[in-house]
C-alpha cells in the first residue's frame, strides 16, 4: 500500500533534516508522527519514527548526565513548579520577590535575569515553587529556556499592564508557546476540558506523540500605573476566556488572588494522614494530583504500602467520618486518611 505522504509530512521531514539540536530533531519527528497518514502502508515508517524519537531521548538523557552543570535545569521542589514567562521589564522578578523569599536581582533595565532563579511561595499549609526566567524577545527565547518551561507544572505568563504594547506582547507570547507546542491553543485556567482535547491527547495533557502540554495563567502586573486599567479592559474584551489576574507588587494588590489562582490551576489536593487511634497530622499534608486515589497516597508514603494495604478510613469527603473505603477511592482536598496495612 502506498504511503501517500502529505505536504505537511514532507515539511516536517525537511525541518528534521535542518534540525541541529536533539530537541529540534525530536520536535520535528513528533510533528512527522502527528501528521503522517495512519494506515498499513505507513506502519513501518511510524515505527521507525518512534524508534528515532526514543533513541534521541536516550541520547539527550545521557548527555544531561555526563554534561555537568546545566544552569537552565531547575530541580522541582514543593507542591508544584510554576515557571514565569514574559518579555523584558514586565515585572517577573519583582513578582517572584513579592511572593517568595528568593533573592532575585531586580532592576529597571532589561535582561537582569540571566538564568532561572527559584523561590518558594507559601500557600496555607504547603509551599509552591516559583521560577523566574530570562525574558523572551520578539526574536524568540534564550537557548535552554524551552526545557525549563516544559519541565514545569504550570506557566505564569507575565505582562506589563501599564505598557501600550501589553496586548501585542501577550499575543506574541501565546503564539510562540503554541508554536513550540508548550501550551495548547485552548486553555481552561489550569485544566484541559474534554472538549479541548483532540483524540490523540490523554487526561494528563500528553498526546500519543510524546508532547506534554502545560496549563497556564496570565498575571498582569503594575496595576498601579494609570494606563493599566484601560489596557486590562481591552484584553478582557478581546480574550474573555483568558485566565487573567491583575496584580501590583506596590501595596501587594491582589497577590492573594494570584496565590489562589496558582493553587487551583495546579490541580492538586492536600491529604492529611493519621495513625490508628491517634490524632491526624495537620501540619504536613501529602500532595497528590487531583483525581489521586488511596492507592496513590499509599505509594507516596512508602513504596511497600500499596502491596500491604488492606483498606483505608477517610474523614472529609466520605459519606460519614471514618468510612472504610477501597484502594481506588478518589480523595478530595484536605481529606484525612487512615491507612490500614
Q: What is the 3-state secondary structure (H, E, C) of 243-298?
A: CEEECECCCCECHHHHHHHHHHHCCEEEEEECCCCCCCEEEEEEEEECCCEHHHHH
pLDDT at 170 over 90: yes
Band of the pLDDT at 200, cuts 50, 70, 90? Answer: very low
Question: What are the tens digits of pLDDT across the range 174-187?
Answer: 999 998 889 987 65
Domain of residue 43, residue span: 7-66
Residue carrying the nine cell digits 537552565: 72
- What was the pLDDT predicted at 35? 85
Residues 96 and 177 in one domain: yes
Distance of alpha carbon 121 from alpha carbon 148, whole angstroms: 19
Q: Give the pTM.
A: 0.78
User: Three-state SS for 84?
Assistant: strand
| Residue 210: per-residue pLDDT | 53
**Confidence at residue 25, expressed as pLDDT on a 0 to 100 scale:** 85
- Same domain, yes or no: 243 and 105: yes
Confirm whether 72 is domain-assigned.
Answer: no
Contact 313, 278 (CB under 8 A): no
Q: How confident is the model at residue 105, as a pLDDT?
A: 59
Range 94-118 average pLDDT: 74
pLDDT digits (tens, 9 = 90+) for 11-37: 889 888 888 778 778 888 888 888 888
CATH of the domain at 319: 3.10.20.30
**CB within 8 Å of 202: residues ≥ 6 apart:** 208
Residue 76 lies in a domain: no
Q: In this model, does residue 1 exceed pLDDT 80?
A: no
The model's confidence at residue 188, banded by pLDDT at 50, 70 and 90, is very low
CA atoms within 13 Å, Cβ hemisphere of 38: 4
Rounded distance between C-alpha atoms, residue 73 and residue 54, angstroms: 21
Number of domains the chain contains: 3
Asked whether the beta carbons of 108 and 120 are under 8 A apart, the reply is: no
Are the beta carbons of 331 and 271 closer than 8 angstroms?
Answer: yes
Give every CB contact of residue 272 below 8 A, 6+ residues apart in sequence: 280, 281, 282, 285, 286, 334, 335, 336, 337
Q: How far is CA 113 from CA 24, 118, 132, in A?
A: 25, 12, 8
Cell of 242: 483568558
Q: Which residues contact 216 (CB under 8 A, 6 or more apart)?
A: 154, 155, 156, 157, 177, 183, 187, 190, 243, 265
Q: Is 329 left (phi over 0), alpha (psi -120 to 50) or beta?
A: beta
Q: Which one, of 141, 137, 133, lies nearest residue 73 by Cα?
A: 133
In a domain, 71, yes or no: no
* Cα distance between residue 99 and residue 103, in whole Å: 11
What was the pLDDT predicted at 280? 93
Residue 194: pLDDT over 80: no
Is residue 326, in this structure, part of any structural domain at all? yes
Can you give the pLDDT at residue 19? 82
Quote the pLDDT of residue 317: 95
Residue linked to cell 496570565: 218
Confidence check: pLDDT of 332 > 60: yes
Phi, psi of 326 (to 5 degrees): -80, 170
Shared domain for 101 and 221, answered yes or no, is yes
Rounded distance between C-alpha atoms, residue 164 and residue 258, angstroms: 23
Q: Are residues 240 and 328 in the same domain?
A: no
Q: What angle do CA 245, 250, 253 make, to 5 degrees?
A: 35
Judgement on whether residues 117 and 132 belong to the same structural domain of the protein? yes
pLDDT of residue 196: 41
pLDDT value, residue 192: 41
Does residue 140 fall inside a structural domain?
yes
Q: Which residue has the higher pLDDT, 101 or 161?
A: 161
Q: Give me the mean pLDDT over the 55-70 stretch.
A: 72
Is 2 a domain residue?
no
pLDDT band at 202 (very low <50, low <70, confident <90, very high): very low
* pLDDT mean over 286-306: 91
d(C-alpha 43, C-alpha 148), whole Å: 34
Are both 170 and 87 inside the same structural domain?
Answer: yes
At 65-105, the pLDDT tens digits run 666 667 778 889 999 999 999 999 899 999 999 999 776 65
So what's the pLDDT on residue 193?
A: 39
d(CA 121, CA 127): 5
Per residue in 223-262, pLDDT tens?
999 899 999 999 999 999 999 999 999 888 899 999 999 9
Say whether both 117 and 180 belong to one domain: yes
Q: What is the mean pLDDT of the chain?
A: 85
Indicate whether 104 and 236 sit together in one domain: yes
For 63, the grid coordinates are: 548527555
- Dist. CA 101–CA 303, nearest whole Å: 33
Amino acid at each position: 500500500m502506498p504511503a501517500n505522504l502529505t505536504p505537511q509530512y514532507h515539511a516536517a521531514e525537511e525541518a528534521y533534516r535542518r534540525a541541529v539540536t536533539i530537541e529540534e530533531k525530536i520536535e520535528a519527528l513528533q510533528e512527522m508522527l502527528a501528521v503522517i497518514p495512519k494506515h498499513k502502508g505507513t506502519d513501518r515508517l511510524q515505527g521507525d519514527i518512534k524508534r528515532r524519537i526514543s533513541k534521541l531521548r536516550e541520547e539527550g538523557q545521557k548527555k544531561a548526565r555526563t554534561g555537568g552543570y546545566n544552569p537552565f535545569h531547575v530541580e522541582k521542589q514543593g507542591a508544584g513548579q510554576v515557571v514565569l514567562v514574559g518579555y523584558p521589564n514586565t515585572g517577573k522578578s519583582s513578582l517572584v520577590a513579592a511572593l517568595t523569599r528568593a533573592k532575585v536581582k531586580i532592576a529597571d533595565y532589561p535582561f537582569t535575569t540571566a538564568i532561572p532563579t527559584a523561590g518558594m511561595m507559601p500557600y496555607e499549609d504547603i509551599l509552591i515553587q516559583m521560577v523566574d526566567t530570562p525574558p523572551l524577545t520578539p526574536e524568540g527565547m534564550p537557548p535552554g529556556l524551552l526545557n525549563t518551561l516544559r519541565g514545569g507544572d504550570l506557566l505564569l505568563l507575565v505582562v506589563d499592564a501599564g505598557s501600550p504594547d501589553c496586548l501585542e506582547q501577550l499575543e506574541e507570547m501565546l503564539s510562540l508557546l503554541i508554536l513550540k507546542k508548550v501550551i495548547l491553543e485552548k486553555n481552561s485556567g489550569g485544566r484541559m476540558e474534554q472538549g479541548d482535547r483532540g483524540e490523540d491527547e490523554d487526561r494528563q495533557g500528553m498526546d500519543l506523540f510524546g508532547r506534554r502540554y502545560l496549563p497556564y495563567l496570565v498575571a498582569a502586573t503594575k496595576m498601579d500605573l494609570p494606563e493599566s486599567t484601560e489596557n486590562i479592559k481591552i484584553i478582557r474584551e478581546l480574550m474573555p476566556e483568558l485566565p487573567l489576574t491583575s496584580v501590583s507588587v506596590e501595596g501587594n494588590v491582589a497577590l492573594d488572588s494570584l496565590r489562589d489562582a496558582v493553587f487551583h490551576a495546579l490541580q492538586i489536593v492536600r491529604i492529611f494522614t493519621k495513625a490508628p487511634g491517634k490524632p491526624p497530622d495537620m501540619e504536613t499534608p501529602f500532595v497528590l494530583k487531583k483525581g489521586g486515589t488511596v492507592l496513590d497516597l499509599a505509594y507516596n508514603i512508602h513504596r511497600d504500602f500499596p502491596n500491604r494495604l488492606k483498606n483505608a478510613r477517610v474523614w472529609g469527603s466520605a459519606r460519614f467520618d471514618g468510612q472504610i473505603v477501597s484502594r481506588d477511592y478518589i480523595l478530595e482536598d484536605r481529606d484525612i486518611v487512615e491507612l490500614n496495612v
